[in-house]
Amino acid sequence: MRIVILTGAGISAESGLGTFRDKDGLWTKYDLNEVATPEGFAKNPQLVTDFYNARRANCASAQPNAAHHALARLEAALPGQVTLITQNVDDLHQRAGSGHVIQMHGALMSALCAGCRHRWPAPPVMALTDRCPACGQARTRPDVVWFGEIPYHMDAIAEAVETCTHFAAIGTSGQVYPAAGLVAEARGNGAQCIELNLEPSEISRVFQHRRYGPASEVVPAWVDSLLD
Ligand code: OAD
């Protein structure tokens, strides 16, 4: 078995981190164009910095849940056979013990210099006046991928998806590409694909298998079934 797992905001929902598109989701309270695009950052960098500072604070006070722990258990039980890709910018997979997490939309806990692209650990509260430790410019931004930017690690993701035998999407609405297109690629390459989500997503028909319910319940049960 070579298993690729793609997670989204739904896996962290029970840890108290809001999703984006559910009722009361982040995109019902904030304008995505203002806080999650390069144009929004150019227009009002303080607003964007404040938005991600608030999310970093939420993340710091959250704990991984049973779903994050189950995926860490799977990786430990099948060393070298599990690739964990997340769209989440939180660090709950890492704190649950997952060793190698591909964060395709970046990381709240990382800062990026828009000038020289150097990265460093983000302070709890980032400020626009923060200087890059490498080049000294004050062009700091959150190390997250905004709409209109290319997600990180796409080569490694493509390679994993091409060669996997099993693909699982967990807690993602399947509305944001390229992440939402990975299941079709995996299926086209012959993988068994499963959706684990609170409810059927818009792309649920692409999966041959489906399990619906809270991630803290369906993910540990799915991991148990794989390890049986
Ligand atoms: P969404 O908010 O679009 O979708 C969250 C999914 O999680 C929905 O399908 C919910 O039904 C499901 N869900 C909610 N609670 C759940 C629970 N307890 N257990 C299981 N599933 C649950 O979040 P994403 O699909 O992650 O990108 O969003 C994708 C990207 O859009 C994000 O990475 C972010 C966002 O805009 C950027 O900011 C670039």
For ligand 1, the distance from its centroid to the CA atom of residue 18, given in whole angstroms, is 9
What average pLDDT does range 190-212 have in this prediction?
A: 98
Measured by CA distance, the residue closest to atom 32 of ligand 1 is 87
Q: Is the CB of 175 under 6 A from ligand 1?
A: yes
What's the confidence (pLDDT) of residue 112? 98
pLDDT over 90 percentage in the chain: 99
The answer to whether 108 and 91 are in contact (CB under 8 A) is yes
pLDDT over 70 percentage in the chain: 100
Q: Is the CB of 214 under 6 A from ligand 1?
A: yes
What's the confidence (pLDDT) of residue 158? 98
Q: Annotated active-site positions, please? A: 105
Measured by CA distance, the residue closest to atom 37 of ligand 1 is 146
Binned at pLDDT 50, 70 and 90, residue 93 comes out as: very high
What's the confidence (pLDDT) of residue 2? 98
Q: Is the CB of 198 under 6 A from ligand 1?
A: yes
Measured by CA distance, the residue closest to atom 9 of ligand 1 is 173
Measured by CA distance, the residue closest to atom 8 of ligand 1 is 173
Q: Is the CB of 8 under 6 A from ligand 1?
A: yes
For ligand 1, the distance from its centroid to the CA atom of residue 134, given in whole angstroms, is 35
For ligand 1, the distance from its centroid to the CA atom of residue 20, given in whole angstroms, is 6
For 179-198, how does the pLDDT look when each residue is reduced to its tens digit (9 = 90+)? 999 999 999 999 999 999 99
For 99-117, how does the pLDDT look when each residue is reduced to its tens digit (9 = 90+)? 999 999 999 999 999 999 9
Binned at pLDDT 50, 70 and 90, residue 119 comes out as: very high
Q: Is the CB of 33 under 6 A from ligand 1?
A: no
What's the confidence (pLDDT) of residue 153? 98
For ligand 1, the distance from its centroid to the CA atom of residue 138, given in whole angstroms, is 32
Q: Is the CB of 181 under 6 A from ligand 1?
A: no
For 148-180, how does the pLDDT look when each residue is reduced to its tens digit (9 = 90+)? 999 999 999 999 999 999 999 999 999 999 999
What's the confidence (pLDDT) of residue 31? 96
Determine the atom of ligand 1 nearest the C-alpha atom of 146. Answer: 39
What's the confidence (pLDDT) of residue 172? 98
For ligand 1, the distance from its centroid to the CA atom of residue 173, given in whole angstroms, is 5
What's the confidence (pLDDT) of residue 190? 97
What's the confidence (pLDDT) of residue 168? 98
Determine the atom of ligand 1 nearest the C-alpha atom of 67. Answer: 19
What average pLDDT does range 54-71 have in this prediction?
A: 98
